Amino acid sequence: MMSLVIDRNVVTDPYRRIAEDEPIPEHGAVLVSLAAWQANASHLRARAAPVGVLLRSDEHPEAIAEHLDRLQL
């Protein structure tokens, strides 16, 4: 896990980046690609744990705009 600096404190990043070929775990905060989000949106929206979507520089935020209420990152 990576570390972050929040309010001058070093904390462990709770998010786990999920590779394209990796199954999405049932528990824990995850970061997924836009393609993974689009392929698994209903499953990911139903998770109790936080979900974030990583956008590449050529991907537009509008692709996830209607889901921002369910995305934490």
pLDDT digits (tens, 9 = 90+) for 41-66: 999 999 999 999 999 999 999 999 99
- pLDDT score for 1: 65
Is the residue at 63 inside a domain?
yes
Distance CA 36, CA 4 (A): 25
Token duo for residue 64: 């996830």
Is the residue at 7 inside a domain?
no
Domain that includes residue 31, residue range: 14-67
List phi, psi (to 5°) of 62: -60, -25
Is the residue at 4 inside a domain?
no
Strand segments (E) across 18-73: 30-33, 51-54
pLDDT digits (tens, 9 = 90+) for 16-27: 999 999 999 999
- pLDDT score for 72: 92
Q: What is the pTM of this model?
A: 0.83
Three-state SS for 63? helix
List phi, psi (to 5°) of 57: -65, -20
Length of the chain: 73
Is the residue at 62 inside a domain?
yes
Is the residue at 28 inside a domain?
yes
pLDDT band (50, 70, 90) for residue 6: confident
Tally of domains within the chain: 1
